[in-house]
Amino acid sequence: MRGASRFVSCVVLFGLGAAAGCFREDFMLGAVCGNDVQCGEDQCCSGKRCRPSPEGCDRGAGIDTAYDEAYRSCHDDDECIKLGMPHCVRLEGVKDGFCADLCQGVEENCEMHPESSSRTCIELDGQRHCALLCCSAGCDPDTGQSLCPGQTDCPDPCPGKMECLDNVCVPKDGS
C-alpha cells in the first residue's frame, strides 16, 4: 500500500516538476502522520511526524512530547536526514544551520524542543520551515509581554545552545 501511495505522490510531484524527491529514500521523512502506514519504508509515525525506524520511533503515534533531535545544529541536509528531518535550515549571517521539518499547516504541527515549546514557521528559499520562536527585543519585566512586533505573549527563551536572531532561535557559534 505504501508503494502505491508513494507512486501516486511521485506522479503528482513529477507533474509539478519536483520528481527528484521521489527517488530519495527519505521521501516521507518529516511528513505529518497519524500512523506508521502513512510513512515511508523503514519509518514510523513518531509523535506527529515520520521518523527513521528505530532511531526516532520511541514516542509512538500521537504522543505530544519534544523530539530530542529537533533543531540540532547542522551544516547540511544529510546530517538532518539521518536524524529524521529533511532540512538543515541556514539563515543568512549564521555559521551553522538547524535541523527542521517543513512547516505543514500551523506551527503546532512543528516539533517542540525539550527546552522550548515556542514554535513558528519561517519562509526560506520558497519553502516554509519549522523553527523556534523567540523575541529579539526581549520582554517587559513587569507584564511578561513580548516587545517584538506581532507578538503578544513572551515566547520561551532559546535553548542553551541557541541564541535569538531576528526572532528565531539559531545555533550559537561553536555549538
pLDDT > 70? residue 26:
no
- What is the reported pTM? 0.79
Q: What percent of the chain is modeled with pLDDT above 90? A: 37
The pLDDT confidence band at residue 56, using thresholds 50, 70 and 90, is confident
pLDDT value of position 59: 81
pLDDT exceeds 80 at position 5: no
In terms of Cβ atoms closer than 10 Å to its own Cβ (0-12, 13-18, 19+), residue 53 is middle
Predicted local distance difference test score (pLDDT) of residue 28: 82
Number of C-alpha atoms within 13 angstroms, CB side, residue 123?
Answer: 1
DSSP string for residues in 80-147: HHHHT-SEEE--TT-SSEEEE-B--SSGGGSPPBTTB--EEEEEETTEEEEEEB--TT-B-TTT-BB-
Nearest to 117 by CA among 153, 75, 92, 141: 153
Give every strand in the sheet of 97-100, ordered side by side.
73-74, 97-100, 87-89
